[in-house]
Amino acid sequence: MSEKGFTRFNRKAIKVDDALQSLLPFVSEIEAESVGIMEAIGRRLSQDIQTPHPIPHFRRSGYDGYAVRSEDLQNATRQEPVYLNLVDNIPCGEVPSVSLKEGETARIMTGAMAPDEADTVVMLEATDQVEDNGKTFVKFTKPVKSGANITPIGEETQQGEVLLNKGKDIDSGDMAVLSSLGFDNVPVYKKPKVAVLSTGTELLDVSEPLEPGKIRNSNTYMLAAQIGKSGGEPILIGKFPDDVDVAKERINNLLHDDEIDIIVTTGGVSVGDYDIMTDIFLNWEGHTLFNKIMMRPGSVTTAGVFNGKLLFGLSGNPGACFVGFELFAKPVIDRMIDGAGEHPKITALLEEDYLKVNAFSRFVRGRYEVKEGKVWTRPVGLDQSSALLSMKDANCLIVIPPTKTGLKAGEQVEVILL
Amino acid sequence: MSEKGFTRFNRKAIKVDDALQSLLPFVSEIEAESVGIMEAIGRRLSQDIQTPHPIPHFRRSGYDGYAVRSEDLQNATRQEPVYLNLVDNIPCGEVPSVSLKEGETARIMTGAMAPDEADTVVMLEATDQVEDNGKTFVKFTKPVKSGANITPIGEETQQGEVLLNKGKDIDSGDMAVLSSLGFDNVPVYKKPKVAVLSTGTELLDVSEPLEPGKIRNSNTYMLAAQIGKSGGEPILIGKFPDDVDVAKERINNLLHDDEIDIIVTTGGVSVGDYDIMTDIFLNWEGHTLFNKIMMRPGSVTTAGVFNGKLLFGLSGNPGACFVGFELFAKPVIDRMIDGAGEHPKITALLEEDYLKVNAFSRFVRGRYEVKEGKVWTRPVGLDQSSALLSMKDANCLIVIPPTKTGLKAGEQVEVILL
């Protein structure tokens, strides 16, 4: 009999949301580090990014053409063109070399800095150059609007504005912002280190030949990918046989290892004689938070905490292991790096009948797809906790609430996007 | 005057789809390599993956309980239970040690191998164990259905079936499949090596302080992230000033470099005096495929081919560079590793009016989101090719066809998912 009255056979099933909530007090934000900008791709910002300058930070020409003072052209017509004296040539990256006086113009490139006195750029195609007496003039045949074709300072953003928020995953658009603001090093969260252990005498290494009754250790590699996608760094500890003492020692070492932030085990959480994780969770130094959840698959998903460190006991069944990770471990890892936690949920329409009767909520591996502005979803593969193949095509979990009649095609369901 | 009649000012705009089609003859599948399974996460399969054995490959118990021959229990009732002699104990990973004869049963764990003679597993909870005269018997109180609680060989898949298709991006579900099939090394496509060069005297390095008229080189880093997301490996060549001879030599070296698969430049493709990529594309050893496209932004997007190697001249404007890459370079990189090429497109509903008048199709950086089963989309940020900030929030490109009136909120638009 353990502290909370858990016994091997007499587990108290709690709601999915209550299980998640019980974990949250033990989630704390992980520390940050600074990485080179190229290493920042796909990482998560640990600070708001403010711009130290307005964008653009100079008055920028939007076209190749001529910078002018619009007042000089107010009477220009095709019949009576205005000729301005060409006094400067401003390529990108250079500053104007002279001030524009009345009657003067400067050749300017797209993206170049407009002279202070010019309020407009006239496109090259609308002009002609004329040589006269050793001087160059530019011919304009119509008036122009003040401000046209020059992007004012700060049009995109003012100095000091927060352009990227803490907690954002850095993608290509963010890379453009970070590099243009001069962040050659970028503040990002460290990746939470998640130790992965698989239990089971039946497990073979990936490289071992198959034997009757044995299967290869596949949950470890599946979890490694799930952890990486959640923003964590998988630390593969390996598999161990169904020996409580061995398992206890290994897990104990990890619980005391400052380099490990979270521990995830798979297998051994059921009620069989060899379910060693069940034994460990009944009798350990830590505090068991839950060991049964009102859901399928993965009802035996277990979690506890020791010294602020979370230990997850996921099912050894691949489908149940997958779902247990996504519903409980992913939100924890994601929150450690300032994420929203749970996957986004949307409402979708069932593409086909789902007639299975449930006492618990069922999280069915499925696919969703958009057709003519509507979102449709359907289960993929075999809907059993032991099924290995249904994850490979899933991009969502379809939430089937407890039902005595099943659901019909066309009914609305909640869908968790993976 | 170049081979196809292109001149600096007289460019012939072609349709977006025609531009893309002109690239495809020069796309060839890249070679494969074998990587360790942990390095395979996120890579793309270069072969179909067939299963060398059925899954499961043995008759697997679905519960902890007792393996029985169902015929032995056909007369069992609560009043007249049947007692079977316990002759074996089968944990996971072991093979049954004896054959079950009439009147015999074996203790069996979830996931363990059922004895050949047993056609059913009875859950532990429905039984009792009784000792009698030094022998152990198990008490059963009702008949069971033949086949219940044992997963037959090959229920998930038969030997030889293709479980994962060539061209699939390897995610967590695929990792489960690959590891369970014994792929400690995984055949994946090499990542196409994409050289990135930025042109422009105005460009500062990310680490340099800002100067009037100059901007930091941000396209390079944006493109690096875009290339990575497309499945390529960015090779950053750096920036070079607006000097045709320097640029020509660098590009020429890359065109002759067998280690480089694609070259992407940004900047210098317009019609200004310093638009050095325009000069290069007008007079080079390669064949220019297009230098103007009926689209905004990025109408000056240019591409050509030399010796089967594609050279992209993207605009230096961040928005135009982004769109040009996604519409033309991404599909090429993706096809080199057996992908579908273009981004998926869906139909969505405009969340707000879009009243800008277009002669060319406009690809507006936007966001889409699902609300109550419908997909809505709206533009983000400033809709100008020079805008830097509109990419950071975009998850799609909204396709606005040529229109004289603009589009109203609620109208259907095509959306390219990024």
List chain A domain ranges: 16-31+190-336, 33-55+155-189, 60-151, 345-417
C-beta atoms of B373 and A375 within 8 A: yes
The pair of three-digit structure tokens given for residue B181, joined into one six-digit string: 């099939």
Q: Are B367 and B374 in contact (CB under 8 A)?
A: no
pLDDT in tens, A175-222: 999 999 999 999 999 999 999 999 988 999 999 999 999 999 999 999
What is the full DSSP assignment across B90-116?
A: E-TT---SSPPPTTEEEEE-TTPBPPT
pLDDT in tens, A7-60: 666 789 999 999 999 999 999 999 999 999 999 999 999 999 999 999 999 999
Mutation for A interface: B179, B230, B349, most A CBs within 10 A: B179
User: What is the least distance, in Å, from the CA of A257 to any CA of chain B?
Assistant: 23
pLDDT of B404 reads 85
Closest Cβ–Cβ partner in A157, A181, A200 for B92: A200
CB-based contacts of B155, cutoff 8 Å, min separation 6: A382, B55, B56
The pair of three-digit structure tokens given for residue A72, joined into one six-digit string: 């000089």
Residues of A within 8 A of B64 (CB-CB) are 270-273
Residues of A within 8 A of B57 (CB-CB) are 210, 212, 215
List the CATH code of the domain at B60-151: 2.170.190.11
Separation CA B409–CA B352 (nearest Å): 4
Separation CA A124–CA A108 (nearest Å): 9
The pair of three-digit structure tokens given for residue A222, joined into one six-digit string: 């599946």
Average pLDDT on A296-308 reads: 95
Q: How would you classify the pairing of strands B412-417 and B345-350? A: antiparallel
Residues of A within 8 A of B201 (CB-CB) are 91-94
C-beta atoms of B93 and A203 within 8 A: yes
Task: Indicate whether A3 pLDDT > 60.
Answer: no
Average pLDDT on A94-119 reads: 96
pLDDT of B9 reads 64
Strand pairing partners for B55? Answer: B157
Mutation for A interface: B60, B110, B128, most A CBs within 10 A: B110
pLDDT of B6 reads 56
pLDDT of A88 reads 97
DSSP state of B327: I
Residues of B within 8 A of A273 (CB-CB) are 64, 91, 107, 109
User: What is the least distance, in Å, from the CA of A189 to any CA of chain B?
Assistant: 19
Average pLDDT on A278-288 reads: 93
pLDDT of A343 reads 96
Separation CA A160–CA A165 (nearest Å): 13
CATH architecture entry for B345-417: Beta Barrel (2.40)
Average pLDDT on A387-393 reads: 84
Residues of A within 8 A of B51 (CB-CB) are none
Q: Are A111 and B316 in contact (CB under 8 A)?
A: yes
pLDDT in tens, B87-124: 999 999 999 999 999 999 999 998 899 999 999 999 99
User: What is the least distance, in Å, from the CA of B307 to any CA of chain A?
Assistant: 30
Amino acid letter at B146?
S
SS3 content of chain B, % helix, strand, coil (to 5): 20, 35, 50
Look at the block and give the residue holding tokens 């008229």.
Answer: B213
- Domain A33-55+155-189 top-level CATH class: alpha beta
Residues of B within 8 A of A9 (CB-CB) are 125
Separation CA B117–CA A249 (nearest Å): 39
pLDDT in tens, A313-354: 999 989 999 999 999 999 999 999 999 999 999 999 999 999
Q: Count CA atoms within 13 Å of residue A103 on its CB side.
A: 2
C-beta atoms of A92 and B200 within 8 A: yes
User: What is the least distance, in Å, from the CA of A273 to any CA of chain B?
Assistant: 8
pLDDT bin (cut points 50, 70, 90) of residue A6 is: low
Separation CA A257–CA A278 (nearest Å): 22
Tell me the C-alpha to C-alpha distance, in Å, between residue A18 and each of A3, A13, A30, A295, A414.
19, 10, 24, 12, 18
User: What is the least distance, in Å, from the CA of B40 to any CA of chain A?
Assistant: 10
| Residue B298, phi-psi category: left (phi > 0), alpha (psi -120 to 50), beta (remainder) | left
Give burial (CB, 10 Å; 0-12/13-18/19+) of A153: middle
C-beta atoms of A216 and B112 within 8 A: no
Separation CA B141–CA B79 (nearest Å): 8
Give burial (CB, 10 Å; 0-12/13-18/19+) of A178: buried
Residues of B within 8 A of A207 (CB-CB) are 182, 184
- In a 3-state reduction of DSSP, which class is residue B320? helix
Look at the block and give the residue holding tokens 């990587």.
Answer: B35
Distance, C-alpha A189 to centroid of its chain: 13
What mean pLDDT value characterizes chain A? 93
Q: What phi and psi, each to the nearest 5 degrees, are found at residue A262?
A: -145, 150
Residue in chain B closest to A114 (alpha carbons) equals B213
CB contacts < 8 A, A to B, total 308
Nearest to B180 by CA among A12, A207, A30: A207
What is the full DSSP assignment across B127-185?
A: -EEEEETTEEEEEE-S---TTTTEEPTTSSB-TT-EEE-TT-B--HHHHHHHHHTT-SE
Task: Indicate whether A386 pLDDT > 90.
Answer: no
User: What is the least distance, in Å, from the CA of B53 to any CA of chain A?
Assistant: 9
Residues of A within 8 A of B155 (CB-CB) are 382
Mutation for B interface: A35, A172, A201, A315, most B CBs within 10 A: A172
* b/e map B63-86, b = 16+ CB within 10 Å: bbbbbbbbebbeebeeeebbbbeb
Mutation for B interface: A191, A206, A343, A411, most B CBs within 10 A: A206
**Cα end-to-end span (Å), chain A:** 38
Give ipTM to 2 decimals: 0.91
Closest Cβ–Cβ partner in B151, B206, B220 for A182: B206
Closest Cβ–Cβ partner in B109, B210, B213 for A272: B109
Residues of B within 8 A of A264 (CB-CB) are none
CATH architecture entry for A16-31+190-336: 3-Layer(aba) Sandwich (3.40)
The low-confidence residues of chain B, meaning pLDDT below 70, are 1-9, 383
C-beta atoms of B172 and A229 within 8 A: yes
Closest Cβ–Cβ partner in A62, A173, A271 for B222: A173
